[in-house]
A and B are shown apart, each in its own frame.
Chain A
Amino acid sequence: MSEYTESIIPGVSRRKSASRYRPAVFLLVPLLAILFQVYVPRFIESAANLELPLLVTVYFSLMRRQPIAGTLIGAVIGLAQDSLSHLPLGMFGIVKTLVGYFAASVSQRFDVENPAIRLILGFFFFFFHQFFYWILSRALLSQQVGFDLVQTLIVGVLNAAVGLPLFVLLDKLRQDDVALA
């Protein structure tokens, strides 16, 4: 087994660890992400394609490496996002809850500090987020919303690209890692 493999799959040789953050970080970063999505598109229309709350959810879920934490982080950020939208509460909450859970679960298998992994996971979870939101819109709200696959893929790539520097920025707010059992 090569060093590259060991660096991707932590369970093989790496020791699992969870990043710790100040509570204010968990409060302010999602809030800033939501505010960015709310206000920035008013001035820059293309900024509406950025799903910063999703990237924040993915980041914290990946770094906490705990599904419960990821579930709660995703639920809180999603409900906060819902509270500022015109849609019923729970649409973003459900989707981001699933994203946080799966991201936390995936983080236990992969080296989430690897930029490539972060890029791939960022793209994957964005696509998952959009697809699952589309399903919920049709299933629960009976909205006949179309799903543009190409645009979704492109925007997914964009968000994944934006997520790489954002994750690095957020790594600066990390205090230390805590070894997991």
Chain B
Amino acid sequence: MDFLLHRYRSLTVLVVTILAQLVLLAYQVKTDGDVRLIRVWSVEAVTPLARVLEGIRSSTSDFFSNYVVLSGAQAENRRMREELGRLKMDNQFLRSELSTAQRAEALVVFQKRSPSKTVAARVIGSSTGANAKVVFVDRGFTSGVLKGMAVLTPDGIVGKVIASYPTAAQVQLITDPSFAAGVISQSSRVQGTLKGQGRGDLLVDYVQLEQKVEKGEWFFTSGDDRVFPKGLPVGQVSVDKQGTTFREIYLLPSGFQHGLEEVLIVVEGVHQQIPDDVSAFNQPIKLLPPPPPPEGSPESGSLAAPDGGPQPLTTDADRLRQKYRALGEAQSHKYGEGMTAPNYNQATPPVVPGTPAGSVATPPGAAPGTTAARPIAPAAGVATKGPATTPGATPLSGTVANPAPPATKAPAMKAPVTPTTAPTTTPTSTPAVKSTTTPAVKPPVP
């Protein structure tokens, strides 16, 4: 360096002098933007260098931050994993809540549509035992739940109450080996006794060999067991084969298809018709009132209003109820007392026009054998019938001799499956809705 400076000393002095004067000049000169030239030169000289340095620095920093220094990424990854796990748990919880809400909504809808009076309950536990298909629900007799009440879901029956405690009840599921109930098929009207098998499917026993059902055909409760109201779905036929003595019909229960967490306990059952279309089982159906009775029939005048207008009670069930009541009064029989039944073949006394609903006069010389006066098959006959007798069912005391639910196409009729002493109050937390769509009138209850 010294050699170069000595050899090119004059040139070095020249360059230094020129540069010094350039700096001096640049310090004085201002550009059009009122910026000193030396500042412009400095900026223009420094900026590219700074840009290059910044590029190198940022690249190096990015390289280290992105590829070398991963501690921050690891911590962030850990934090995000924890957050992801928490969100998954929240999501699962919300899904569960949503499913619960949907089931509760389905229960409420079913309660509103069903004519039976039900109490919603939640399954809180299961009983011990390998084959025991018994669960506990959180409703007891303080909520009106009594032994023998039917337990169902909107999809079908699931069991019956076998023990009731103050705040809980024990429910025997339909899959329990000791469970039995009367069922009837939808289209072929094959009646049988439903028996649990201790596994997933159910057996319909006591079906004659000559009777046949279609695979996939629906079975409904027949109401003969006095536990389940008639018309509740049970399941579909999965297997139908020839047995030794009876046919072996196996059903897939429909009440468990959406789990068993919330159930409905029927505290006041109402028989229904076997629906023709299962898909429309839970659909609301608007029924027109039955046509007026022909002129001259006993019903034509019995239901007429005093002013000649129509009576509000115009259903077949109302007419049957009035006939039974008239027969009972004519024979001085009080339903629920004694062991004998009234003579249903006796002529029905005519109802005095203008008599309020529920009070029937007994006119002399009433024409016997009329269709309306024909008695319905008593329940005793049904109960003693082999296949319809439910071994596992627990008939309520005092109901055997009572008239059975009419086999006519009455829209709805409350069956005497619940004693009058059964509390009908529902817990405040669980809505028990009684349907008002069907003008059902409770028959004389013993």
Contact = CB atoms under 8 A, between A and B. Distances in A.
Asked if A and B bind, the verdict is yes
Interface of A: 66-68, 71-72, 75, 78-79, 88-91, 93-94, 97-98, 101, 104-105, 140-142
B204 to A, nearest CB: 109
Interface in B1-30: 9-11, 13-14, 17-18, 21-22, 24-26, 28-29
Given A67-B11, A71-B17, A88-B29, 19 more contacts: A67-B14, A68-B13, A68-B14, A71-B13, A71-B14, A72-B17, A75-B17, A88-B28, A90-B22, A90-B25, A91-B25, A94-B18, A98-B14, A101-B10, A101-B14, A104-B10, A105-B10, A140-B37, A142-B31
Contacts of B17: 71-72, 75, 97
Given A68-B9, A140-B29, A140-B37, A90 B14 contact: no
Contacts of B37: 140
Given A88-B29, A141-B29, A93 B10 contact: no
Secondary structure class of chain B's binding surface, majority of residues: helix
Contacts of B14: 67-68, 71, 97-98, 101
Given A88-B28, A88-B29, A93 B13 contact: no
Contacts, number: 58
Closest 8 pairs between A and B when the two form their complex, measured CB to CB: A90-B25, A67-B10, A88-B28, A90-B21, A93-B21, A90-B24, A101-B14, A68-B13
Contacts of B26: 140
Contact of B21 (A75, A104, A142): A75
B25 A140 contact: yes
Interface centre among B10, B13, B14, B25 (most CB of A within 10 A): B14
A71 B10 CA distance: 8
Contacts of A72: 13, 17
Secondary structure class of chain A's binding surface, majority of residues: helix
A94 B22 contact: yes
Contacts of A93: 21, 24-25
B18 A89 contact: no
Contacts of A140: 25-26, 29, 37
7 contacts: A79-B21, A93-B24, A94-B18, A94-B21, A94-B25, A98-B18, A141-B29
A94 B23 CA distance: 11
Contacts of A141: 29
B25 to A, nearest CB: 3
Contacts of A89: 21, 24-25, 28
How many chain B residues sit at the interface, stated as a range, is 10 to 19
A125 to B, nearest CB: 15
A97 B10 contact: no
Given A67-B10, A68-B10, A97 B29 contact: no
Contact of A97 (B9, B11, B18): B18
A121 B26 CA distance: 30
A90 B24 CA distance: 6
B29 to A, nearest CB: 5
Nearest to B24: A90
B48 to A, nearest CB: 20
Contacts of B13: 67-68, 71-72
A143 to B, nearest CB: 10
Contacts of B22: 90, 94
A163 B32 CA distance: 40
Contacts of B25: 88-91, 93-94, 140
Contacts of B28: 88-90
A101 B235 CA distance: 117
Contacts of B11: 67
A141 B30 CA distance: 8
Contact of A66 (B10, B18, B24, B32): B10
Contacts of A90: 21-22, 24-25, 28
Contacts of B10: 66-68, 71, 101, 104-105
A75 B15 CA distance: 12
Contacts of B31: 142
A83 to B, nearest CB: 11
A142 to B, nearest CB: 8
Contacts of A78: 21
A155 B285 CA distance: 122
A140 B29 CA distance: 8
Contacts of B24: 79, 88-90, 93
Nearest to A89: B24
A17 B9 CA distance: 19
Interface in B130-148: none
B138 to A, nearest CB: 95
A43 B174 CA distance: 134
A41 B271 CA distance: 134
A128 to B, nearest CB: 15
